Chains A and B, each alone.
Chain A
Amino acid sequence: MSSVVVDKAKVPWWVSNVIVPLVNLTLALIVSGLFVFIAGENPIEAVKLILYGSFGYIQGFAYTLYYTTNFIFTGLAFAVAFHCRLFNIGGEGQAYIGGLGVFLVAANLSFLPVPIVWLLAIFGAFLFGAAWAFIPAYLQATRGSHVVITTIMFNFIASSLMIFLLVDVIRDTNQMAPHTIKLPKELWLPSFESFSGILGLKIRYSPLNLTFLLAIASLFFVWFLVWKTRWGYEMRAVGHNAQAAIYAGISPYKNIIIAMCISGGLAGLLSINEILGVSHKIQAGFPAGYGFTGIAVALMGRNHPVGILPAAFLFGILYQGGSEVTFEMPNITRYMFVAVQGLIILFSGALENLFRPQIESFFVTRLNKDVKI
């Protein structure tokens, strides 16, 4: 395969950023279809069910967007750190601790006007998530302790800390389950049901809420920060070549810490969706793997907000459509969709370069011929 040499400069942007990911995704879905077939179900029917579950009815679509919201936050979190060449795989723990920030603000400052509480809660989520990322960042910057190791360790520390708090300190003692009391109703973020009435739709329940707009805003925020500010430039410089950055007078120390803190803060915002938007309390284990799936979302979206949005949407479809399939096809268990996600990560992450040279050279030769004619 190394025989195929492509002049990178001649490759049109849409080939490397649109065609190649789509080919990889298609391959992942074909292999998944094979699994479905082996399990004794019709893959075409399964695809139909996924599409029906995620688009076919308004409530299903609301669920798809709700999952998308979570994946945007965790995907952005991973992407920001990645531009500084830091693998922040601690999104799970940062989101968990971020929830503590939301709850502390909302439970203690509920006497303030509601929009101000929301803003402070967003700030609290960001701050707590960032604080949880700060410790691994500091260790990486000063001691060289690799963030991959420290952040994954911090996920476990976060869940141990939260279980302790949820069982012995802030548990709603009227019942046995490890969660807090519900926040006062006026602090709940307006949900999609309350808007749907205006649109003439009637749905009884959906977890989609105003946080979706915050997620969209975060996409713009990250784009602006990474590509349009001096800090973003410095951070990318450190990521590309730390030695060159030092030579140019840029401090890797400072940039590593800032990148990780912003990354942790973005992961923390997931708890706004879960706590102010959906369950209105801290439940044990509420990040439910979104932090880890966010890594796949960011890798698929090539760490750019424009890619992260469709990638998050795709995973939203898989999550929501997947539950529809497991409901309708008893042979397809929920673990099958973990396998499908794994295949997508495998093809769009690890095997990303499997077909890239061929596809790129195909288009480069085709397009150059066109030019000659």
Chain B
Amino acid sequence: MKKLFNILVVSFALVFSSSAFANTIGVVYDSGGKFDKSFNELSYKTAQRVVDELGWSMIEFESSNDAQIEQGMRKVADRGATMIVAMGFAMADAIGAVAADYPDIKFVATDICWLDDVNNNMYQSCYKEHEGSFLVGMLAAMKSESGTIGFVGGMDIPLIRKFQGGYEQGAQYVNPDIEVIANMTGTTGEAWNNPTKGAELTKAQIDGGADVVYHAAGATGIGVLQAAADAGILGIGVDDNQNYLHPGSVLTSMVKRLDLTIFEQAQAVENGTFESGIYILGLAEDMVGFTVDEHNSSLVSSDMISSVEAAKAGIVDGSIAVADWSQE
């Protein structure tokens, strides 16, 4: 009888606990830092939206070295996260190990799409940054009067080559004679977090004749856009919509819609429709692209938009092939 009573109490507690606690979103940021105005901050803003609109609570971890990532992710898991968002490819090992140990938690991996998923609880997403970069490369070439444009990357790694490759191909698609000056910020982790160096590289590119500069360098890009605005030329933002940073001086932003990914997966978890798998998201899914809003509408003419839209349709139907430089 006592045993039966115990079972009753336990099962009651289980039912009660699952209904009393709302969902929790856990976010693990990479070493670029939570407030990089770009990649990580976009995930933070989206998690905030999940909190506001779906009534979830939020747990965060900002790692300062790679050894901490797994520890931090496990802590987030132990504190009762129902869905964990991992930002950036440095998380690959950690998410692989933690997802295997916590089958009940759903994981959303950003820029990771090659892991074995033993528990079918991982939404692995990679983006076709080269396709989106192709479009902003076209805009840069159309806007450039000097025939020279610039690119500032964080580090010379495959992911950044993808951005650079798409940008150069898009610019050449508009103007085969265009000159692209490309620089990488550094070879250490600090390369993603060095606005001063970003500004210096941009100034050097401006001296070399560039009048539109695109960055793919995390928080370093803040300096790139600042230097471009100071010099009266145009910058192009990345990942998040950065047009608002310097209205009238940011031509457009190559957005990576990880905000949509995160929010949609949170909704899916809420509704019980979460599906694990590997997702490669590009223009066809509208998950990369360029932005036009009140801050840059005076810079982008309707002719420019219509020719970029035409190219976008070409990329989606396959008539324009954009090479992925990370594969070379």
Do B67 and A288 touch (CB < 8 A)?
Answer: yes
Min CB gap B149→A, angstroms = 24
For residue A171, which residue of chain B has the nearest CB? B158
Partner of A159, one of B65, B67, B89, B187: B187
B124-157 residues at the A interface, CB under 8 angstroms: 126, 155-157
**Residue B66 is within 8 A (CB to CB) of chain A in the complex:** yes
Contacts of A333 in B (CB 8 A): 62
Do B71 and A63 touch (CB < 8 A)?
Answer: yes
- Take A288-B66, A326-B62 as given contacts and tell me if A176 and B159 are in contact as well, using a CB distance cutoff of 8 Å: yes
Tell me the complex Cα distance, A279–B66, Å. 10
Contacts of B326 in A (CB 8 A): 176
B59-104 residues at the A interface, CB under 8 angstroms: 60-68, 70-72, 74-75, 89-90, 92-93, 97, 101
**What range describes how many residues of A lie at the interface?**
20 to 34
Do A283 and B66 touch (CB < 8 A)?
Answer: yes
Contacts of A156 in B (CB 8 A): 187-188
Do B60 and A178 touch (CB < 8 A)?
Answer: no
Contacts of A162 in B (CB 8 A): 187
Tell me the complex Cα distance, A108–B155, Å. 29
**Residue A40 is within 8 A (CB to CB) of chain B in the complex:** no
Partner of B70, one of A160, A205, A337: A205
Contacts of B188 in A (CB 8 A): 156, 159, 285
**Residue B208 is within 8 A (CB to CB) of chain A in the complex:** no
Do A334 and B67 touch (CB < 8 A)?
Answer: no
Tell me the complex Cα distance, A164–B156, Å. 8
For residue A161, which residue of chain B has the nearest CB? B187
| Residues 164-190 of chain B, each 1 if its beta carbon lies under 8 Å from chain A, else 0 | 000000000000000000000011110
Do B101 and A327 touch (CB < 8 A)?
Answer: no
Do B72 and A167 touch (CB < 8 A)?
Answer: no
Contacts of B61 in A (CB 8 A): 326-327
Interfacial residues, chain A to chain B (CB-CB below 8 A)? 59, 63, 66, 156, 159-160, 162-164, 167, 171, 174-178, 204-205, 207, 278-279, 283-286, 288-289, 323, 326-327, 330, 333-334, 337
- Could you list some 12 contacts between A and B, CB below 8 A? A63-B71, A156-B187, A159-B187, A164-B156, A175-B89, A178-B158, A204-B101, A283-B90, A284-B189, A288-B67, A327-B72, A333-B62
Q: Which 8 A-B pairs have the closest CB atoms?
A: A177-B89, A334-B64, A288-B65, A159-B187, A163-B187, A175-B114, A176-B158, A160-B187
